[in-house]
Chain A
């Protein structure tokens, strides 16, 4: 059968140095590592495209290093320094003879693993959103990419100064890029890589600092987001179920109710209800109401256990004022209040009442109602609130993250657009 495939070497036509080609048969341009001349190796007669006489630049990832990403070993065989204006980024060309080529792109400390996409995406470059593999990509930026420096080998004709129109679409952690020149459109699909992943793959000790939020950087808790809400939903459903059961199991029973009438002669007197029985330990609800008319009422109540003398003291205050002013009729305050006393043991009780009222203490009516084992929604709502705190905070963080991401874009979706334009 066929002979073993192996790298090829030849003498640089410019300086005579040994040039090695790894992607034999595919590589079109090779750059001499000694003199940086660009050599055309597309056809059998090798030619100098651009003669140079400079030392090869050092790069974070050097030519020839290998690393495993997404289950495949890749060798760095080319490097391009690209720019848009004064903004630079690094593109490393990765090669594996079985799997072909990938790009590893470093931009502001953010890394992407990119593969050319062999799919026709009709409106790419023009549309504000495009769909690929069932995912919606949003336009993030349009710009240009100019080759500023090259080293290594490439499966296309590289040239310093070569320029393409570029557009990036994002669906974090994926990135859809388009590069277009007069002859062709190249679409590629990228995946955000954690810097630690790149560092451990290529055994790098120092990495460029990560600044800002990258266009396709996954948001914190992305992916876990839906899960988070599902978990919250399950907890709330459970709390609701418990609450419903509690409501159903509650006696919600009346213990005592009566009307009282007091006037100025009762000012320092303590009224008492007759003795009433609470059959089991549960909460007690005391409701009071009064037909206050530009007046206030303060009830100092004391629930006293007749056997133990244990006392539960509460104050219920209400006020109600109304009148007429330049804006029309007004009213404030309320004529009703209620208080829960939790975990009242069983026994015989009476309620002691000290009433105090406003200057118009000339006789006031009020009603009292005592109930026991009344289901309260309070615990339930506190629970629900607590369940929602975490996902709520996460959502807030997510929103602020997205806001930061899109602050770098000219195509910010309205909900992340905080700038007044």
Chain B
């Protein structure tokens, strides 16, 4: 990981970008949302406090996915009509851009896929229950929802202010393959990966939880 340090334009405290892939961070002292440019940083406003949850993961948690160590460096909390979930930005040792989704007690690790293959036509509207071929895997669309960012913390590969709206599509494979398509305006990102068990993540420095 290539660590870079800046001073928060708002409060002057040290803001560390653990990953060179990160372009956005929330100052942990004053909650300023900071966007990184080539040489300097800019504050784009204030992040409201994140609603509390019982997540066993926190920024600084480390774990393993398929033998590769990763650290958790940021989080987006996403809300939708029927609740919310966490998207943890993970930086694995192999330099990929990864996410650990944590929803309804399930964990799914995924990595951004090169979207030049045009495997999915941008124009076509994916339909619930239909199948898509991603990464040579036939995956079923199991969920399509309108999502909105409730808040973010730590550092992220794109700005995620409160109110950021996306369409989130979840896909599921026959052996627990997981994929997610995130549509933000006319921008689309595809993530592919796998559901993973808590024990297999071998987490170090999990978040302390009262009573557990």
- On whether the beta carbons of A97 and B212 are closer than 8 Å, the reply is yes
Q: Find chain A residues with CB under 8 A from B104 CB.
A: 26, 100-101, 155
- On whether the beta carbons of A96 and B79 are closer than 8 Å, the reply is no
- On whether the beta carbons of B105 and A101 are closer than 8 Å, the reply is yes
Q: Is A10 an interface residue (CB 8 A)?
A: no
Identify A2's interface contact among B58, B178, B212, CB under 8 A. Answer: B58
- On whether the beta carbons of A184 and B55 are closer than 8 Å, the reply is no
Instruction: Given A118-B106, A120-B139, decide whether A96 and B208 contact each other with a Cβ distance below 8 A.
Output: no
Q: Is A157 an interface residue (CB 8 A)?
A: yes
Q: Which residue of A lies closest to B210 (CB)?
A: A6
Identify B198's interface contact among A44, A99, A120, CB under 8 A. Answer: A99
Instruction: Given A1-B60, A2-B59, decide whether A98 and B206 contact each other with a Cβ distance below 8 A.
Output: yes
Cβ proximity bits A1-30 to B, threshold 8 Å, 1 near / 0 not: 111111110000000000000111110100
Q: Is A121 an interface residue (CB 8 A)?
A: yes
Q: Find chain B residues with CB under 8 A from A3 CB.
A: 52
In the assembly, what is the distance between CA of A286 and CA of B39, in Å? 112
Q: Find chain B residues with CB under 8 A from A99 CB.
A: 105, 198
Q: Find chain B residues with CB under 8 A from A23 CB.
A: 54, 105
Q: Is A119 an interface residue (CB 8 A)?
A: yes
Instruction: Given A5-B56, A155-B105, decide whether A25 and B51 contact each other with a Cβ distance below 8 A.
Output: yes
Which segment, of B5-13, B19-27, B81-89, B117-125, faces chain A?
B81-89
The binding surface of chain B is classed by DSSP as loop
Q: Is A213 an interface residue (CB 8 A)?
A: no
Identify B176's interface contact among A26, A119, A185, CB under 8 A. Answer: A119
Q: Is A156 an interface residue (CB 8 A)?
A: yes
Q: Find chain A residues with CB under 8 A from B208 CB.
A: 4-5
In the assembly, what is the distance between CA of A120 and CA of B83, in Å? 23
Cβ proximity bits B53-71 to A, threshold 8 Å, 1 near / 0 not: 1111011100000000000
Q: Is A352 an interface residue (CB 8 A)?
A: no
The residue among B84, B103, B195, B206 with the most chain A CB atoms within 10 A of its own CB is B84
Chain A nearest CB: distance from B14 CB in Å?
Answer: 16
In the assembly, what is the distance between CA of A268 and CA of B81, in Å? 110
In the assembly, what is the distance between CA of A25 and CA of B51, in Å? 8
- On whether the beta carbons of B173 and A120 are closer than 8 Å, the reply is yes
Q: Find chain A residues with CB under 8 A from B106 CB.
A: 100, 116, 118
Q: Is A43 an interface residue (CB 8 A)?
A: yes
Cβ proximity bits B166-184 to A, threshold 8 Å, 1 near / 0 not: 0000001111101000000
- On whether the beta carbons of A119 and B210 are closer than 8 Å, the reply is no
Q: Which residue of B lies closest to A3 (CB)?
A: B52
Identify B83's interface contact among A28, A96, A119, CB under 8 A. Answer: A28
The residue among B79, B195, B208 with the most chain A CB atoms within 10 A of its own CB is B208
Chain B nearest CB: distance from A205 CB in Å?
Answer: 26
Chain B nearest CB: distance from A105 CB in Å?
Answer: 17
Q: Find chain A residues with CB under 8 A from B205 CB.
A: 1
- On whether the beta carbons of A97 and B209 are closer than 8 Å, the reply is yes
Identify B142's interface contact among A4, A5, A184, CB under 8 A. Answer: A184
Q: Find chain A residues with CB under 8 A from B103 CB.
A: 26
Chain A nearest CB: distance from B107 CB in Å?
Answer: 8
Q: 26 pairs across A/B with beta carbons < 8 Å?
A: A1-B60, A1-B205, A2-B207, A4-B209, A5-B210, A6-B209, A8-B52, A24-B54, A25-B51, A25-B55, A25-B86, A26-B104, A28-B83, A42-B81, A43-B83, A97-B56, A97-B212, A98-B206, A99-B105, A100-B106, A100-B198, A101-B104, A119-B172, A120-B174, A184-B142, A185-B142
